[in-house]
């Protein structure tokens, strides 16, 4: 095959420049206004912020899962010595490095635990099913665990972030070596902490219910949203004339493959959990699904089945869809919404057995999402959007799907 | 780094500026073809092959004797009892199916992930997959008790309108394993067609020419042939990818849909898949290491290939360990006394010996692969593969037997011991497996010649110049003939 002109970093803009300040200001404003309005809406409900707490949990879990998806994707690139992705790796690093900001955003979940989590409610103490694990599901240990999770995640994400930036300056290959060695270990720490955190955050809302795969379910859903957000962010930057030429349809094709593959993987995990509990039909296990299949929530469950699995699966299967910019953007945005609905369906039935939807759910999405976007913009400002001196950058620029 | 840099057969040096060479030595297309096809066509069959074949064929005889005995006497000749009504037959079935997973993972998933190093080992792994599935298929077929109605496993139209129970995971197994065997066989054969044509063209005996000629289905290597071949290969890879997940997931359903503590848990499907890949890679390694040694294939199946396999073993072994830990945690968290009893009983009950063999072999020893020296030292890694093989058999034993032998009614608790027939049947299945492997080595090309050629530096029109990734990047820049060294 004839070699095309190999794009170089000179062909395009690789910094945010003036755009950074604008995006930061707007998203921070959206974030703050969103949060303030949400608190107002929450207080207006007059339920001691109970509804607010659940709504907050949905949106917090959504953005946390995306950042954790980024934190997974980084070490995977290093252990596999992948090169195609290098040209956009900085975007992944930025998303992962936003985890300390998400630690701040986790504070309301911990503070409002008594309104969200059954186990933290004052009247729960008398339940013998809880007494057995009260040492684990207690406000104190819950707080300590979240401190540990975020401590670990911050450490992991900043190790990648710092070394990658340092390599920008010097091009020192030792950073690549160090991170390749670090990544295997990072994945181990990641798997244990994220699985347990998923259970803490979402499974323990119903403290009776349990599922060994739940941590994987949380992680897989987040990974799908992460790939979708990465696609949208890359496209957004290209719209403003950044990263053009160097991120080619070849890279977007791979984004599409990853979205497709992990949509399927997420559905496989969801099916494994659902089918096994449905089949064995043990009350303590099916209760969780029973609640989510009746009174309005059942319809949401069907929406999740179609929106988060069947439709994007069919939509992304063809090569054409993955290489067509508009279609890929459509499905990426679709997946973001679908995964959000999935989390809504996981959390909200615990708040109300009947279907509910309030403006707060949307304002909190913008509140937390705006804050998060402000954080990643701030991190990216004044830095190159491409790891300029990565030894595999050249391969990434030349990348073509075979 | 220093000793490795001087060893021409060591291509495991980590240098991010330059990928390791996939093929070592001074090889070109011709030398590759000669070295691989001569094993089949020209070289005299080593005496050791005949010795090994005699032994394995004898063991295969033992297998069929035991099956015959079983058919005459009934399943009472096995160690099954009440409450342990599922013994070695299901253990062996899951063990062999699991081993079969490495082939599809290498041929399908690693293909889609553009892992070019797979080309040297995929043929061997795929062959092993098919043989393992053959061994696996025997056990559910013979364990049914009334062997004369074994065809009821299949939904055959019949005038009595008798159908199998479609709600039974055992029936799903029939479909899952059947599909898997079919697709694996197609994949293996399709990939082998160009190589069979090479054998046909190089064969000197008339008989060889005719047989390889028939098998090569008229392959002439025209552009149109290659075009269709590549299309078919990609489609088969796409079809086989979900099969890697589905087969062992369905096998896990045999256990997980039941309400038995220790079986019924939602992590089973992905955990079984990880375990299957883990055991499959260990078995591929167990066979590849002697094969590359005895047949002089070290330039094609390099240390780099083995190191990559060891990394996959480390990753999947850790996933298995992660699943064990999660099961234990949730057994406690659930507050279900039966569930926690099942797990405590596994670790500290009458079968604790089996449990700790499993944990030592599957979780603890593979962690040594964190050390590069262990990953790249051939005798050490071979010993590790043996550990993994043992550990993964014991995993299935632990899951099957420990959950059954102490059920909900303490008065019916029991202890399961295999009989001589159990043991000989299992040993005999190894005989069958190795017999097929030996036949494969003798009569078919062990390394996918046509595919390996595409990753050789001279396959690149711009040989000597770096080539884009995403395409085969097994290039050693021509300037450094010492091959990937620093």
B161 falls in which pLDDT band (50, 70, 90)?
Answer: confident
> Is residue B458 pLDDT above 80, yes or no?
no
Chain B residues close to A279, C-beta within 8 Å: 257
Higher-pLDDT residue of B267 and A130 is B267
Considering the domain boundaries, does residue A402 fall inside one?
no
> Is residue A169 pLDDT above 60, yes or no?
yes
Report DSSP state, residue B163.
-
Interface of B with A in 335-354 (CB under 8 A): 335-336
- Nearest residue of A to residue B324 by CA position? A212
Q: To which H or E segment does residue A138 belong?
A: none
> Is residue B189 pLDDT above 80, yes or no?
yes
Please report how the helices B223-256 and A249-280 are oriented relative to each other, as an axis angle in degrees rounded to 10: 30
Phi/psi at A13 (nearest 5 deg)?
A: -90, 130
A139 falls in which pLDDT band (50, 70, 90)?
Answer: very high
How many CA within 13 A on the CB side of residue A100? 12
SS3 at position A242: strand
Please report how the helices A214-239 and A50-79 are oriented relative to each other, as an axis angle in degrees rounded to 10: 80
The predicted pLDDT at position B266 comes to: 96
Give residue A144's domain range: 16-397
Check CB contact of B268 with chain A, cutoff 8 Å: yes
Between A192, A280, A395, which is nearest B469 by CB? A395
The label of the residue with tokens 């497709």 reads A260
- Nearest residue of B to residue A251 by CA position? B470
CA torsion, points A32, A38, A43, A46, in degrees to nearest 10? Answer: -170
SS3 at position A13: strand
- Rounded CA-CA distance A160/A162 in Å is 6
Asked if A177 lies within 8 A of B264 by C-beta distance, the reply is no
Considering the domain boundaries, does residue A8 fall inside one?
no
Residues B393-436: pLDDT tens digits?
Answer: 999 999 999 999 998 889 999 999 999 999 999 999 999 999 99
> Is residue B3 pLDDT above 50, yes or no?
no
Instruction: Decide if B440 contacts B446 (C-beta within 8 A).
Output: yes
Asked if B270 lies within 8 A of A79 by C-beta distance, the reply is no
Tokens of A373: 């976007």
Asked if B470 lies within 8 A of A401 by C-beta distance, the reply is yes
A377 falls in which pLDDT band (50, 70, 90)?
Answer: very high
Average pLDDT over residues B370-382: 95
Instruction: Decide if B103 contacts B254 (C-beta within 8 A).
Output: no
Chain B residues close to A216, C-beta within 8 Å: 267, 270
Considering the domain boundaries, does residue A6 fall inside one?
no
Considering the domain boundaries, does residue A5 fall inside one?
no
Q: For residue A360, which of A17, A56, A75 has the smallest C-alpha distance?
A: A56
Instruction: Decide if B133 contacts B96 (C-beta within 8 A).
Output: yes
Interface of B with A in 369-388 (CB under 8 A): 370
Average pLDDT over residues A130-146: 92
**C-alpha distances in Å from residue A165, one per residue of A93, A330, A387:** 10, 33, 7
- Rounded CA-CA distance B228/B236 in Å is 12
Phi/psi at A305 (nearest 5 deg)?
A: -55, -45
Average pLDDT over residues B33-50: 92
Average pLDDT over residues B198-226: 95
Check CB contact of B253 with chain A, cutoff 8 Å: yes
Phi/psi at B145 (nearest 5 deg)?
A: 90, -70
A131 falls in which pLDDT band (50, 70, 90)?
Answer: confident
Residues B69-84: pLDDT tens digits?
Answer: 999 999 999 999 989 9
- Rounded CA-CA distance B310/B306 in Å is 6
Average pLDDT over residues B242-256: 93
SS3 content of chain B, % helix, strand, coil (to 5): 70, 0, 30
CA torsion, points B258, B261, B262, B267, in degrees to nearest 10? Answer: 60
The predicted pLDDT at position B471 comes to: 41
**pTM of the predicted structure, to 2 decimals:** 0.93
B467 falls in which pLDDT band (50, 70, 90)?
Answer: very low
- Rounded CA-CA distance B401/B436 in Å is 30
- Rounded CA-CA distance B419/B88 in Å is 10
SS3 at position B469: strand
Check CB contact of A81 with chain B, cutoff 8 Å: yes
Regarding an ipTM greater than 0.90, the answer is yes
The predicted pLDDT at position B463 comes to: 55
Considering the domain boundaries, does residue A11 fall inside one?
no
Tokens of B145: 């008790």
Check CB contact of A174 with chain B, cutoff 8 Å: no
Considering the domain boundaries, does residue A1 fall inside one?
no
- Rounded CA-CA distance B135/A352 in Å is 53
Report DSSP state, residue A349.
G
Higher-pLDDT residue of B154 and B57 is B57
Q: Domain total for chain A?
A: 1
Q: For residue B311, which of B115, B19, B21, B107 has the smallest C-alpha distance?
A: B115
Residues A261-272: pLDDT tens digits?
Answer: 999 999 999 999
Instruction: Decide if B18 contacts A173 (C-beta within 8 A).
Output: no
CATH numbers and ranges of domains, chain B? 40-473 (1.20.1630.10)
Neighbours of A398 (CB within 10 A): 21
Considering the domain boundaries, does residue A10 fall inside one?
no
> Which of B322, B470, B484 to probe by mutation at the A interface, max A CB count within 10 Å?
B470
Interface of B with A in 218-247 (CB under 8 A): 242, 245
Average pLDDT over residues A236-247: 94
Average pLDDT over residues B13-32: 86
The predicted pLDDT at position B469 comes to: 42
Considering the domain boundaries, does residue A2 fall inside one?
no
Size of chain A, expressed as the number of residues it contains: 402
Contacting residues for A178 by C-beta, under 8 A, at least 6 apart = A163
SS3 at position B471: strand
> Is residue A132 pLDDT above 90, yes or no?
no
> Is residue B86 pLDDT above 50, yes or no?
yes
> Is residue A276 pLDDT above 50, yes or no?
yes
Check CB contact of A84 with chain B, cutoff 8 Å: yes
A402 falls in which pLDDT band (50, 70, 90)?
Answer: low
């Amino acid at each position: 095959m004839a070699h095309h002109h190999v794009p170089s970093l000179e062909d395009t803009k690789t910094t945010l420049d003036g755009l950074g300040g604008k995006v930061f200001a707007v998203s921070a404003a959206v974030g703050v206004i969103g949060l303030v309005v949400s608190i107002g809406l929450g207080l207006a409900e007059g339920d001691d912020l109970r509804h607010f707490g659940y709504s907050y949990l949905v949106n917090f879990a959504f953005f946390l899962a995306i950042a954790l998806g980024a934190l997974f994707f980084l070490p995977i690139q290093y252990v596999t010595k992948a090169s195609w992705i290098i040209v956009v790796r900085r975007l992944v690093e930025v998303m992962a490095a936003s985890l300390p900001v998400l630690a701040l955003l986790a504070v309301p979940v911990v503070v409002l635990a008594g309104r969200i989590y059954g186990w933290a409610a004052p009247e729960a103490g008398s339940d013998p099913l809880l007494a057995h694990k009260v040492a684990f599901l207690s406000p104190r240990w819950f707080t300590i665990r979240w401190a540990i999770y975020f401590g670990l995640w911050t450490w992991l994400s900043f190790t990648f972030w710092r070394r990658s930036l340092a390599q920008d300056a010097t091009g020192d290959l030792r950073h690549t070596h160090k991170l390749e060695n670090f990544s295997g270990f990072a994945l181990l720490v990641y798997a244990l902490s994220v699985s347990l955190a998923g259970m803490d955050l979402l499974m323990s809302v119903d403290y009776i219910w349990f599922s060994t795969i739940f941590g994987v379910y949380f992680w897989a859903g987040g990974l799908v949203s992460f790939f979708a957000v990465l696609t949208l962010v890359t496209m957004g930057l290209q719209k403003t004339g950044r990263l053009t030429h160097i991120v080619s349809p070849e890279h977007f094709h791979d984004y599409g493959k990853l979205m497709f593959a992990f949509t399927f993987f997420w559905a496989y995990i969801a099916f494994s959990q659902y089918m096994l509990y449905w089949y064995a039909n043990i009350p303590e296990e099916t209760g969780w699904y029973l609640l989510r299949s009746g009174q309005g929530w059942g319809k949401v469950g069907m929406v999740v089945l179609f929106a988060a699995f069947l439709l994007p699966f069919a939509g992304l299967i063809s090569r054409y869809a993955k290489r067509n910019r508009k279609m890929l953007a459509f499905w990426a945005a679709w997946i973001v919404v679908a995964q959000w609905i999935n989390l809504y369906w996981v959390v909200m039935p615990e708040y109300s057995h009947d279907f509910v939807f309030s403006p707060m759910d949307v304002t909190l999405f913008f509140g937390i999402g705006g804050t998060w976007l402000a954080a990643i913009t701030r991190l990216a400002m004044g830095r190159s959007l491409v790891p300029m001196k990565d030894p595999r950058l050249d391969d990434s620029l030349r990348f073509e799907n075979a | 780094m220093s000793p490795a840099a001087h060893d021409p057969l060591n291509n495991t040096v980590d240098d991010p500026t330059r990928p390791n060479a996939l093929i070592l030595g001074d090889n070109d297309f011709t030398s590759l073809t000669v070295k691989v096809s001569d094993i089949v066509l020209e070289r005299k069959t080593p005496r050791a092959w005949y010795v090994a074949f005699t032994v394995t064929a004898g063991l295969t005889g033992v297998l069929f004797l035991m099956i015959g005995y079983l058919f005459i006497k009934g399943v009472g000749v096995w160690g099954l009892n009440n409450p342990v009504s599922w013994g070695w037959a299901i253990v062996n079935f899951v063990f062999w199916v699991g081993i079969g997973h490495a082939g599809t993972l290498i041929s399908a998933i690693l293909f889609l992930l553009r892992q070019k190093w797979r080309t040297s080992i995929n043929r061997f792994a795929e062959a092993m997959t098919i043989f393992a599935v053959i061994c696996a298929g025997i056990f559910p077929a013979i364990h049914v008790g009334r062997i004369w109605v074994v065809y009821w496993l299949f939904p055959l139209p019949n005038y009595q309108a008798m159908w199998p129970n479609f709600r039974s995971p055992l029936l799903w197994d029939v479909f899952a394993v059947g599909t898997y065997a079919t697709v694996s066989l197609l994949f293996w054969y399709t990939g082998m067609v160009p190589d069979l044509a090479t054998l046909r063209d190089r064969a000197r005996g008339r008989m060889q020419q005719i047989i390889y000629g028939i098998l090569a289905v008229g392959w002439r290597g025209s552009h149109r042939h290659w075009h269709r071949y590549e299309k078919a290969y990609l489609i088969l890879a796409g079809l086989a990818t979900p099969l890697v997940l589905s087969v062992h997931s369905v096998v896990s359903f045999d256990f997980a849909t039941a309400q038995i503590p220790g079986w019924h848990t939602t992590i089973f499907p992905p955990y079984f898949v990880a375990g299957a890949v883990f055991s499959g890679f260990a078995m591929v390694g167990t066979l590849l290491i002697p094969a590359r040694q005895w047949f002089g294939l070290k330039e094609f199946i390099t240390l780099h290939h083995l190191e990559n396999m060891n990394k996959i073993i480390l990753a999947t072994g850790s996933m298995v360990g992660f699943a064990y830990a999660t099961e234990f945690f949730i057994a406690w968290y659930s507050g279900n006394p039966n569930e926690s009893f099942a797990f405590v009983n596994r670790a500290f009950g009458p079968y604790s010996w089996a449990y700790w063999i499993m944990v030592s072999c599957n979780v603890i020893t593979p962690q040594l692969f964190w050390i590069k020296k262990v990953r790249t030292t051939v005798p050490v890694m071979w010993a590790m593969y043996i550990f993994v093989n043992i550990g993964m058999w014991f995993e299935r034993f632990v899951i099957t037997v420990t959950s059954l032998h102490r059920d909900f009614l303490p008065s019916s608790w029991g202890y399961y011991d295999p009989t001589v027939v159990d043991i000989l049947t299992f040993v005999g299945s190894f005989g069958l497996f190795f017999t097929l492997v030996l036949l494969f080595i003798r009569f078919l090309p062990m390394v996918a010649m046509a595919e390996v050629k595409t990753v050789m530096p001279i396959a690149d029109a711009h040989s000597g110049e770096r080539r884009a990734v995403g395409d085969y990047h097994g290039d050693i820049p021509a300037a450094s003939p010492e091959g990937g060294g620093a």
